[in-house]
Amino acid sequence: MITEEILAKYDMTIGIECHVQLATNTKLFSGADNDARDKAPNSVVSPIDYGLPGMLPVLNRKAVDLAIKAGKALNSQIARVSRFDRKHYFYPDLPKGYQTTQMYQPIIEAGVVHAPLDDGSVVDVRVHHAHLEEDAGKLTHFGDSSLVDLNRAGTPLIEIVSEPDIHSPAAAKAYATELYRLMTYAGVTHGDLYHGNMRFDVNISIAPKGATELGKRAEVKNLNSFKSVERAAEYEFRRQVELIENDGRVVQETRGWDDAKQKTTSQRSKEDAQDYRYMPDADIPPIVLTDEEITRIQADMPRLPGEWRQLLGQLGLDFLQIETLLDAENEYRGRVNILQMIESVIEDPKKAKFVAIWNVNNFVPMLRSDETLAASRIDFLAIELAIYDLIAADKISSTNAKTLFRELITQTSLPDVEQYATDKGYIQMSDASAVVAIVDQVLADPRSAVAIQELKNGNDKVIGYLIGQVMKSSSGQANPALAQKIIRERILN
C-alpha cells in the first residue's frame, strides 16, 4: 500500500513536449487545405504530401510568421537562421519515409512560460526551444488490415520542448493550460483540442527527495486535455513510486494514456528506439530572418495573457476576475470578443474597469447560461457603455441596470438605450423634490410608524424597510441612495 507518507519521500520531475497545430490555410510544404476536420479520407492531399516521385517541398511562409509570433508568446528569441532536417523512419502514415522537422537549428530559441496555478501562485517553466515540423497521416486498423488517411500529413506544427522544471501534476496542468492560452492568444493555433490541435507528451521521472540524480523517465504520449496531463502525471508518479518501493525499477519507455481507465499503459521500451538518421533537408533553403521582419510581425499581435494580467491588475481586478476573463476570451473567441471590448476603451481606465467587471459579473455568466447569446450580432460594448453612462449619471440602479442589460442583449437591433430604459421605467428618480414627495407620503403612512420609531431608537436596519416602501411607491424608479438620505434627514434631524 502506497501511503501519502511514502509518496512524500519522493520528488517528481516533469518535462513536457507540446505539439501545436498552426492556423494556416494550407499545409507546411504544399498548397493542400490544412483543415482536415470532417473531410473525406485522403481528400486534402497534394502530390507533395503524398510523397510522389519528383515532388519538392515549398515552405509556407505563413507558418514561419506564426512561429515568429509563437516565439514572442514564449518569451524566446527568434533564430536569424534556422533550417529543416529530415527524421527518417518507416511507417505507412509517413509517405516520404521521413518527417521534415528542425533538429539542429530550430526557429524558436530558449524561452520561459509563467504559468499561474489555481491558488494564484506562478510556476516558471523554461522552454528549451521550439521548432517547426510537419504532422504525419493517420492509420485506422480494421481486423487484420489497416487504412491510411493522409489528410493530416504535412499539417504544420510547432513542437515546444520544455526544460524539466515541473514538479507537480498541478504545475503540469498549469503549464499546459498556459501554453494553450499563449498559443491561442497569439493567433498561432485555432486551439481545437477535440481535433488534436494541441497534444502533450509528458516525460516524468521520480527520485528520492534531495537526490541529485533523476530517475529513468517514462514518456506518456499524445495527451489532448489539460486534465489528462494532470491525471497522467499523478498516475505515473504513484506507479513509479510503487515500482521503486517494491524493489523494482523504472524502465525508460513510451506509455499511452487510457482515458477510460485513467491509467497509463506501456507502448514501447527504449530497446525498440529507432535511429532516425537525421540529416539536413537540402530541398529547403535556410529560413533567414531580419530584425525588421521579426519586429514587424511581432508588432502585429494582440495582447498576450501576461500583458492582460498586468493591465487588468492595474485596473484593480483580482486574480479570479482576471482568470475568468482570460478563460472567457478563449471560450468565446471568434464569437464574442470579451477582451477586445475592454481594449476598445482602454484609454479611459474607469470605463475599462467598468466593462471588465461588468463582463466578469454579468456578461460572462449570462453567456454561459444562454448558448444562443454568443451568436448575437448586437453591439455588446455599446450597450455596456450606455449603461455605464446611465450609472455614472446616477440614472439607474444596479438592479435595473442588470435587467436592462439582459433585455438589450437579446434584442435584434440596438434601440436608444436611455429612451428604452425610460419607457421601461428603469430610470431612477433623482429629482430631489419628487423623491421628497414620495418619502413624505411613505412616512405619513400609518404602516410606517413602527419602523420610524425603531429607527429613532437606533435600530438602523429598519431603514431598509422604509427605502423598500419608497421604491415600491415609485415603481422602483426612485434613486435608493437619495431616498435613504432624505429619510434620514426627515427622521433623525
Beta bridge partners of 12: 206
Min. distance of Cβ 107 from another protein in angstroms?
16
Binding segment toward another protein, per CB under 8 A, in 32-40, 96-104, 169-177, 402-410? 96-104
Among 97, 120, 415, 425, contact with another protein (rule: CB under 8 A): 97
In 3D space, the residue among 106, 223, 239 whose CA is nearest the CA of residue 175 turns out to be 223
Among 34, 73, 98, 198, contact with another protein (rule: CB under 8 A): 98
Instruction: Give residue 84's identity as a one-letter amino acid code.
Output: F
Binding segment toward another protein, per CB under 8 A, in 2-10, 20-28, 46-54, 261-269? 46-54
Distance (Å, whole) CA 122 – CA 142: 46
Which residue stretches of 196-288 are H helix?
Answer: 226-245
In 3D space, the residue among 342, 329, 414 whose CA is nearest the CA of residue 378 turns out to be 414
Q: Judged by CB under 8 A, does residue 152 bind another protein? A: no
Min. distance of Cβ 284 from another protein in angstroms?
6
Task: Closer to another protein by CB, 247 or 275: give it.
Answer: 275
Q: Judged by CB under 8 A, does residue 58 bind another protein? A: yes
Min. distance of Cβ 204 from another protein in angstroms?
25
Task: Closer to another protein by CB, 48 or 435: give it.
Answer: 48
Min. distance of Cβ 203 from another protein in angstroms?
20
Among 19, 69, 83, 86, contact with another protein (rule: CB under 8 A): 86
Among 193, 207, 284, 391, contact with another protein (rule: CB under 8 A): 284
Which residue stretches of 279-379 are H helix?
Answer: 291-299, 305-315, 319-331, 338-344, 349-358, 364-369
Q: Judged by CB under 8 A, does residue 56 bind another protein? A: yes
Task: Closer to another protein by CB, 279 or 492: give it.
Answer: 279
Q: Tell me the pairing of strands 218-223 and 253-258.
A: parallel
Task: Closer to another protein by CB, 81 or 492: give it.
Answer: 81
CA dihedral for 73, 76, 82, 83, sign (positive or negative): negative
Binding segment toward another protein, per CB under 8 A, in 87-95, 191-199, 387-395, 483-491? 87-95
Task: Closer to another protein by CB, 42 or 330: give it.
Answer: 42
Neighbours of 169 (CB within 10 A): 21
Among 17, 33, 41, 51, contact with another protein (rule: CB under 8 A): 51
Task: Closer to another protein by CB, 277 or 296: give it.
Answer: 277
The grid coordinates of residue 396 equal 439607474
Beta bridge partners of 108: 78, 130
Positions of E strands within 102-179: 111-116, 122-134, 138-142, 145-149, 156-162
In 3D space, the residue among 63, 24, 30 whose CA is nearest the CA of residue 45 turns out to be 30
Q: Judged by CB under 8 A, does residue 156 bind another protein? A: no
Among 148, 207, 378, 462, contact with another protein (rule: CB under 8 A): 148
Q: Judged by CB under 8 A, does residue 143 bind another protein? A: no
Distance (Å, whole) CA 29 – CA 44: 13
* 461-466 long-range Cβ contacts below 8 angstroms, 24+ apart: 463/487, 463/488, 466/442
Q: Judged by CB under 8 A, does residue 6 bind another protein? A: no
CB-CB contact of 487 with 443 (8 Å): yes
Task: Closer to another protein by CB, 57 or 154: give it.
Answer: 57
Task: Closer to another protein by CB, 96 or 190: give it.
Answer: 96
In 3D space, the residue among 133, 113, 125 whose CA is nearest the CA of residue 15 turns out to be 125
Task: Closer to another protein by CB, 51 or 302: give it.
Answer: 51
* Residue ranges in contact with another protein by CB under 8 A: 47, 50-59, 86, 88, 90, 92, 95-98, 148, 275-279, 281-285
